[in-house]
Structure 1
Amino acid sequence: MTTVRAATRELLRSRGATTVFGNPGSTELPFLQDFPEDFRYVLGLQEAVVVGMADGHAQATGRTALVNLHTAPGVGNAMGAIVTAAANHTPMVVTAGQQVRAMMTMEALLTNVDATLLPRPAVKWAYEPPRPQDVPAALARAFHIAESAPRGPVFLSLPMDDFDVELDAAEARAARHATARRVGGAAQADRAEVEALARKLMTAVNPVLVTGGAVDAEGAWDAAVALAERRGLPVWASPIEGRVGFPETHPLYQGVLPPAIGPLAQTLAGHDLVLVVGAPVFRYYPYVPGPLLPEGTELTLLTSDPGEAARAPVGDALVAGLRPTLELLCELVDKRPHDEAAHRADDTPVEVPEADGEPMSASIALAAMASAAPADTVWVNESPSNIQAFRDHVRIDRPGSFLMTTGGGLGFGLSAAVGAQLGRPDRPVVALVGDGSAQYAITALWTAAAYRVPVTFVVPANREYAILKWFGRFENTPGVPGLDLPGLDLCALARGYGVPAHRATDPAHLAELVGAATTDPDGPVLIEAPVTTVPPVL
C-alpha cells in the first residue's frame, strides 16, 4: 500500500522540487520523517529567512521553490518574506504543519486556527485538504497555481497525522494522475492586437520602450533586445524593479526611470508612444504629483499579469506571455533605418574620485567592488540608500544577473543571496546589503556557513537608516527617533555565525577582498566597508 507521504514525495520528485527550505517544528516532523537521500533539506534559523532563501533560489533557477514552516507561529514569522515573494512574483509552494485532525476542533496547542486565512492576501491560493487522501492532489494544484501567470506563492496547511494514512488502489491511481499532470502557459497575444501594436510602433514619431523585471523572469530578454534594435527604440528601465530586463551596457539603454509621478512623466517628455513590457505602470514612491504622462503621449502595457493590466492608471494593455508576443511583434514591425536609431542619453563613464580616507564614499566603495567582481556575477542588492550609486557602477549585461526586492520591506538580501547561490553554484553571487538591512535576516549567515555556500556579502556600513533620513528630509518630518545604528559590529556578527569576515580600510583593499572572495571561493565571506552616505535623488 502507498502512503500519503510516499505519494507526496513522488509528486515532489516529478516537479523537481527535492530541495526543501525549512525550519522544523513538531508539526512538521511527520512530513520530514525518514527524509529521502535524493532530497536536500536547507535549514534556516528563522522562518522569514527560510522564505527569503527559497525566493532567491526560485528566481535564480526559474523553478518553483518548496518551503516547509511550523504551523501558525512559523507562518506568522514568515509573513513579511511571503509578502516580498508575492511582490517579486516568485513561484513558491509554502507548506505548514497543522495539529492532528482529532484535536483541531478543540483548538489544541499548535492548531492553526483559520489556517487558510492567516497567509492571505499575500498568497495566490491557500488551502487545507479536507481529507488526508487529498494531499497529493492539493499539492499538485499548488504547483500549478504558483507557476501560472502571474506567478507567486501559494499556501497549504497539512495536518501532521495525514502522512501515515494509506491510500487504497483508487486513491493511489488518483495521486499518480495528479503527479503526471502539467499546466502550460505563456500564450501569445491575439495576432490582430499585436498587428495593431506593430502599426502604432511604426507610425509613432518617437516611441520608447520601458522594460521591467518580468522580461528577465519570463525569458524574454533576447526578444526585448531584438525589438529595440529593430525599431531603434530608446530603452528605459521601469522604476523599483527586482530584476533587469535589458542589457545596461547596450547603446539604446537610457537608465532607470524615476519612481515618482511628476518626474517620471517629465523624463518621458517628447515620446509620443510608450511601450511598457513586463512591469506595472508604475511603481511610484514617494508621491510627487504631476501628470501621469506627458501631453500627447500614448501608452501600451504588455504584461502576463491581469492585475497589473487592470490597475494601470493610464494606457491600454495586452495580457499575454511576454516572449512569444515580443517575438511576433518583432516579426511584424519594419526595421528602422540605422541612422534614425536612438542612442544612450549619457554613456560617459562615471568618474570615481580619489579616496580620501576612511570611511569611503559609497560611490568610491561601489566602484571598487564592481571593478573586482567577475563578469558573470549574480548581484543581489538590499542597500536602499546606495541603489543609485550601485546602478552607476554595476551595469547588468546578461539575463539572470540581478535580484532586488520589489515589496518595500527588508530582509531579502542576505537570505535571497544564499538561496540564489545554492540554485546557481556555477556563478559567483555578490550581495550588497546595508548594515541596517542585514539585521532583518542576519541568521542567513549561519546557513551560508553550515552549507558552505560561497556568497560574497559586501556590507556598506553607514551606521544609520540612511534612506529613512532622506525620506525625512523629503517629507519634511524632522525629529524622528530610531534612525541611527551605533555599535553594530558586522564582522563580529558574521564570525559568530561561522562566516569569515574582513573590514575594508580603503577602496584598493575592498577590491582585493572582493576579488579574492569571488575567485575559487571556499565558502561564504563577509566584507564590511565603512562608507559615508550619498543621498539619492529623484
Structure 2
Amino acid sequence: MASVRHVSHEFLARQGLTTVFGNPGSNELPFLAGLPDGFRYVLGLHEGAVVGMADGYAQATGRPVLVNLHAASGSGNAMGALTNAVASRTPIVIVAGQQVRPAVGPEANLANVDAPSLMKPLVGWAAEPACAQDVPRALAQAVFEAELQRRPTYLSVPYDDWAADAGENGLAVLDRSVRRGSAPGAELGRDLVERVTAAERPALVLGGDIDTAGLFDDAVRLAERLGSPVWAAPSQFRLPFPNRHPLFRGVLPAGIKPISDAFEGHDLVLVLGAPVFRYHEYLPGRYLPEGSRLLQVTEDASAAARAPMGEAVVADPGAVIGLLLEALGEGVRGAPVPGEDYRPAPAPAAGEGGRLHPEEVFAALRDEQPQDTSYVVESTSTSAAWWRQMDLRRPGSYYFPAAGGLGFGLPGAVGVALAQPDRPVVGVIGDGSANYGITALWTAAQLRVPLTVVLLRNGTYGALRWFGGLLGVPDAPGLDIPGLDFTRIAEGYGVRSRHVTGVEELRAVLAEQPDGPRLVQVDTALTTPH
C-alpha cells in the first residue's frame, strides 16, 4: 500500500500546489523527503518572510499556495505575516510539523500540544488529524477550505504519520474536487439590477477582491456605463480601478465621518468585493448621509454578516457586474470617458536638504518603469504622495499589506516576482518596514529574481509620527531609526545595491532593466499618509 507521504504528495501535485514556501525544522523533514519531480521548494530565512512571499505569490497567481512551517515556534513566528494574508483573503495552505504522536501528550521538546488552537482565530480552518490514515483527507480539506473561504488554513501533522500506510481508502482523495457556484438567483438578480439602475446618483466602492478575481476591466466598463464616481474601499490592498481615470475619486479615508461625507448627495452606494468598511482612525459620525442607502455584494459571508449598516448580498461580484452590464447595454449614462481623458499627474513636490521628496521618486518610477509594472508598496507615510504621482491602469498593478502589519512588502515583492517572471516588479519599501522582512533579500538573490527594490530612507517611522499627532502624543519614544544603511545590508545578502542622491541619477538607474534583484536606496523627506 502507498504511504501517507506518497498519497499526500500526489494529491498536492494534482491540485497544482507544487511550489512550497518554507523554513524547515526537524519535524518537517519527513514530509519534505522525496518531493516528486516538478516540486519547487522556496527557502525563506524567517517564517514571517516565508508567509509574506507565499502571500504575494498566491495573490499574483490567484491560486492556493503551500507553506511548510515548524511546530509552535515556527508557526508563531509566522503569525504577524499571516494577519495580512487573512485580510487580503489569500488562500494559503499551511502544513506544520508536529512531534511524533507518543511525544505530544508528555509535551516533549518541539511538541505543539494544542496545535489547531495556536492559529485560531486567524485561519479559516485548523486541525490535527486523529490518526495517520486521516492525513490525506485532512490535507485535502485544508486545500478546499482555503479555496472556498479564500483564507489561510492550518494542518498540523505528527511527523511519524508520513511514513505510515495510507490504508485501503487512502487513494480515494486523489480524484476529489470541490467547486462553487455563487451567481445570484433569477429573482435576486432582477432585484439587484432594478435597485442599481433606478438610482439617480449611484456611487461605486470597489474592493481588492475585484482585482483578485480578475474583474478590473469589467469594473471600468460598469463605472463608465453608469457614469458613477468610483472610490477604492478604505485600507486598500489591491487597486481595483485605474487611479487616474476621470471617474476615480481615490481611496476612501478610513474613518466613519469622512466616508459618510464622501457619499453626500448619492442615493445608492454600491460596494463590490469589499468589507463595509475597514475603518482605522476613530472619527465618529453617521455611517451614511441622510437619503443614502448602501448595497454590498461580496463572496465573503463573514464580511457581509459583520457590516454595521446597509444591505448585503453574498454572491460573486463578477456575476453581479455581468448582470448589470447586460442590463445597461452599450449606452453610457454619464459623460463619455475615453482613455485620453485620464487625468495627468501634477508636477512633483521638490525635496530639500539633500533629500528627495517621495513624489520625485514616484514620478521617476511612473516615467521610467514599463506601464505593466507591478508595485508592492510598504511605505505607509508616503501614501498621499504615491497616489498623487502614480498612473496605474492595469490589473495586478498594486499590492499593499492588507492588515497594516509591517513585513509584507519585501517578501511580498519576492513572491509576486516569482509568480510572474515576465512582468516587471518593483517593491517600494520604507526603511521602517524593511527590517521586518529583510531576509527575503537572500531568497531573491539565491533565485535570481528580477526584482527592483526602491528603499525610501527617512530615518523614522513616519506613519507613527503622523498618528502620534492625531492622538496627541507627539513625544512618544522609539520613533526614530537612524544609522541604517540598506546598501550594505543588501550586499551582505547577495543583492546588488546602490545609493542614489539625485533625481536624474535615480531616473537613469530605474531605466535599466535588471537581470536579478537590485536595491536602490534613496534618502527622502518626511511626509504624512494624508
Q: Aligned equivalents of 1:15 and 1:386: distance in 2?
A: 40
Aligned position for 2:449: 453
Q: Match of 2:385, as an amino acid?
A: A
Conserved in 2, the CA contact under 8 Å of 1:72 and 1:111? yes
Q: Aligned equivalents of 2:103 and 2:266: distance in 1?
A: 64
Shift of 1:347: 3.0
1:192-271 matches, within 5 Å, as 192-271=187-266
Conserved in 2, the CA contact under 8 Å of 1:194 and 1:329? no
Q: Match of 2:161, as an amino acid?
A: D
Q: Aligned equivalents of 2:131 and 2:445: distance in 1?
A: 40
User: Any stretches of 5+ residues in structure 1 without a counterpart?
Assistant: none
Q: Match of 2:359, as an amino acid?
A: S
1:30-109 matches, within 5 Å, as 30-109=30-109
Please say which of residues 349-358 and 231-240 is displaced more in the overlay: 349-358
Shift of 1:338: 5.1
1:14-29 matches, within 5 Å, as 14-29=14-29
Q: Deviations over 1:193-221 (max 9, x none)?
A: 22222222222221111111001112222
Aligned position for 1:441: 437
Aligned position for 1:171: 169
Q: Does 1:535 align with 2:514?
A: no
Please say which of residues 31-40 and 328-337 is displaced more in the overlay: 328-337
Conserved in 2, the CA contact under 8 Å of 1:376 and 1:401? yes
Conserved in 1, the CA contact under 8 Å of 2:226 and 2:334? no
Q: Aligned equivalents of 1:511 and 1:317: distance in 2?
A: 47
1:311-460 matches, within 5 Å, as 311-333=306-328, 337=332, 340=335, 347-353=343-349, 356=352, 358-460=354-456
Shift of 1:186: 4.5
Q: Deviations over 1:496-532 (max 9, x none)?
A: 111011011111111221221xx2x221000011000
Question: Any idea what SS the aligned residue of 2:117 has?
Answer: coil
Question: Any idea what SS the aligned residue of 1:360 has?
Answer: coil
Please say which of residues 57-66 and 471-480 is displaced more in the overlay: 471-480
Conserved in 2, the CA contact under 8 Å of 1:369 and 1:510? no
State the percentage of identical aligned residues.
47
Question: Any idea what SS the aligned residue of 1:431 has?
Answer: strand
Aligned position for 2:519: 526
Residue 294 (structure 1) aligned to one of 289, 296, 301: 289
User: What TM-score do you get using the length of structure 1 for normalisation?
Assistant: 0.95
Give the 3 Å change call, closer, same or farther, for CA 355–340 of structure 1 in structure 2: closer
Conserved in 2, the CA contact under 8 Å of 1:235 and 1:253? yes
Conserved in 2, the CA contact under 8 Å of 1:211 and 1:279? yes
How many pairs does the alignment contain? 529
Q: Deviations over 1:251-305 (max 9, x none)?
A: 3222221111111111121111110101111111111112111111111001111
Aligned position for 1:503: 499
Give the 3 Å change call, closer, same or farther, for CA 339–317 of structure 1 in structure 2: closer
Question: Any idea what SS the aligned residue of 2:359 has?
Answer: helix
Conserved in 1, the CA contact under 8 Å of 2:351 and 2:524? no
1:474-493 matches, within 5 Å, as 474-493=470-489
Shift of 1:333: 3.5
Conserved in 2, the CA contact under 8 Å of 1:3 and 1:166? yes
RMSD between aligned residues: 1.8
Shift of 1:36: 2.6
Question: Any idea what SS the aligned residue of 2:326 has?
Answer: helix
Conserved in 2, the CA contact under 8 Å of 1:56 and 1:416? yes
Q: Aligned equivalents of 2:424 and 2:214: distance in 1?
A: 21
Conserved in 1, the CA contact under 8 Å of 2:375 and 2:399? yes
Q: Deviations over 1:197-249 (max 9, x none)?
A: 22222222211111110011122223322221222122111111111112224
Shift of 1:391: 1.7
Q: Match of 1:137, as an amino acid?
A: R
Q: Aligned equivalents of 1:420 and 1:348: distance in 2?
A: 28
Give the 3 Å change call, closer, same or farther, for CA 329–337 of structure 1 in structure 2: closer
Give the 3 Å change call, closer, same or farther, for CA 339–282 of structure 1 in structure 2: closer
Conserved in 1, the CA contact under 8 Å of 2:242 and 2:394? yes
Q: Aligned equivalents of 1:282 and 1:23: distance in 2?
A: 35
Q: Aligned equivalents of 2:200 and 2:336: distance in 1?
A: 12
User: What TM-score do you get using the length of structure 2 for normalisation?
Assistant: 0.96
Q: Aligned equivalents of 1:388 and 1:263: distance in 2?
A: 16
Q: Aligned equivalents of 2:423 and 2:336: distance in 1?
A: 34
Please say which of residues 230-239 and 19-28 is displaced more in the overlay: 230-239
Please say which of residues 505-514 and 70-79 is displaced more in the overlay: 505-514
Q: Does 1:273 align with 2:268?
A: yes
Q: Aligned equivalents of 1:432 and 1:55: distance in 2?
A: 17
Conserved in 1, the CA contact under 8 Å of 2:228 and 2:334? no
Conserved in 2, the CA contact under 8 Å of 1:189 and 1:325? yes
Q: Aligned equivalents of 1:314 and 1:341: distance in 2?
A: 33
User: Any stretches of 5+ residues in structure 2 without a counterpart?
Assistant: none
Q: Deviations over 1:101-137 (max 9, x none)?
A: 1221211111111011001110000011111111111
Question: Any idea what SS the aligned residue of 2:169 has?
Answer: helix
Give the 3 Å change call, closer, same or farther, for CA 433–509 of structure 1 in structure 2: same
Shift of 1:191: 2.5
Q: Match of 1:483, as an amino acid?
A: L
Q: Does 1:473 align with 2:469?
A: yes
Give the 3 Å change call, closer, same or farther, for CA 481–323 of structure 1 in structure 2: same
Shift of 1:11: 0.4
Give the 3 Å change call, closer, same or farther, for CA 343–301 of structure 1 in structure 2: farther
Conserved in 2, the CA contact under 8 Å of 1:380 and 1:429? yes
Q: Aligned equivalents of 2:319 and 2:196: distance in 1?
A: 17
Shift of 1:55: 0.4
Give the 3 Å change call, closer, same or farther, for CA 350–443 of structure 1 in structure 2: same
Aligned position for 2:153: 154
Q: Aligned equivalents of 1:279 and 1:536: distance in 2?
A: 22
Q: Aligned equivalents of 1:279 and 1:382: distance in 2?
A: 21
